[in-house]
Amino acid sequence: MSISILIGYYVMSSVILGILGFIASWIDRKLTARIQFRVGPPWYQNFVDFIKLTAKEVYIPENGNKFIFVIAPVLSLIGVTLCGTILFLVLNKNFGFQGDLILFVYLLTLPSLAIILGGSSSGNILASVGVSRELKLLLGYELPFICAIIIPAVKSGSTTSLVEILKYQQTNSLTIFSISGIIGFIISIFALVGKLGFVPFDLAEAEGEISSGAFIEYSGILLGLFKLSKSILLIVGPLFVIILYLGGISFCSIGKVINGILKYLLILVLIILIKNTNPRLRIDQAMRFYWFWLTAFGILAIGLAFMGV
């Protein structure tokens, strides 16, 4: 592909991801409301909220680092949209290269790094607490998440190509149809909840404790970009898990598209149920859960994957 085609594909993918992300966030809010015996917002509420934020004034902390404060939400958005573009290329065109899995993992850390950079540049004490928690969470969930990525890579012939992982499942059985695959799938869901900053791992934001933490000084379009990034991550994260464990999504027929949508909704509902059935953990509890339990099971699953189980 030429550079101009890739740029055009990136722009188109970003628009689609934004629309789908807001719809996914609405499903999250609507289902959460139903679980709590509330009505919930209309389907267009997230679009309206984003438009309202773009019209509001942007306040930049006087004592903060203005450049980093402004560039952080842009960096977050670029990271998740690039991840989404890679996944669309893999699913639609079977276009990839050796090592794109590693590139994807690096890009997927950009939203968390942007929160850390943005919060630390604001000069706010409560933001610094949120940054500290976000940094610890990043160190916590990233290790089991990498274990969950290694499992399908090993079962697909020790490859670092998303396309090869996808093709292996299309010609053989799905990764989840194995003991190591089931363990890895569960680990990836919990790691994804941490990446999204949902309960019980919403420590960095914790509105009731530290007044939105790292986001406390953000307003206007800058806050809107962070919220948009989080909504897109709610699309990108499950799609990544679907490629690794559920054989991806095929667009060859309506039936296969519906099957792919059902796969996505399954993961989305699991994330929402975890979010609404657990209390917020302390940072030491979250680290213990990720590093002790999930990492231990992840290492066990990697061993099983090498044995073909």
Q: Is the pLDDT of residue 191 over 90?
A: yes
Domain of 152, in residue numbers: 3-306
pLDDT of residue 279: 87
pLDDT in tens, 208-245: 666 677 888 898 999 999 999 999 999 999 999 999 99
**Cis peptide bond prior to 279, omega within 30° of 0:** no
Running DSSP on this structure, what letter comes out for residue 177?
Answer: S
Distance CA 275, CA 292 (A): 21
- Contact (Cβ atoms closer than 8 angstroms) between residue 289 and residue 213: no
Distance CA 306, CA 309 (A): 8
pLDDT in tens, 77-97: 999 999 999 999 888 866 777
R_g of the chain, CA atoms, integer Å: 19
Distance CA 235, CA 262 (A): 13
Task: Provide the mean pLDDT of the chain.
Answer: 90
pLDDT of residue 97: 78
Q: Is the pLDDT of residue 162 over 70?
A: yes
Q: Is the pLDDT of residue 267 over 70?
A: yes
pLDDT of residue 125: 82
Distance CA 136, CA 203 (A): 10
Q: What percent of the chain has pLDDT over 90?
A: 63
The owner of tokens 């099983």 is 304
Instruction: Write down the H helix ranges in the chain.
Output: 3-35, 45-55, 66-93, 100-108, 110-121, 125-155, 162-171, 179-196, 207-210, 220-245, 254-276, 283-288, 295-306
pLDDT in tens, 282-295: 888 999 999 999 99
Whole-prediction pTM value?
0.93
Q: What is the mean pLDDT of residues 258-263?
A: 93
pLDDT of residue 265: 95
- Contact (Cβ atoms closer than 8 angstroms) between residue 244 and residue 188: yes
pLDDT of residue 180: 95
Q: Mutual orientation of helices 110-121 and 125-155 as an angle, nearest 10°?
A: 170
Looking at residue 155, its amino acid is K
Most confident residue range from 172-176, 202-206, 211-215, 237-241? 237-241
Nearest to 72 by CA among 203, 223, 178: 223
pLDDT of residue 212: 72
- In order, the DSSP letters of 218-280 are --HHHHHHHHHHHHHHHHHHHHHHHHHHS-----SSHHHHHHHHHHHHHHHHHHHHHHHSSPP
Q: Is the pLDDT of residue 98 over 90?
A: no
Q: Total structural domains in the chain?
A: 1
pLDDT of residue 226: 94
pLDDT of residue 209: 66
Nearest to 22 by CA among 41, 54, 46, 42: 46
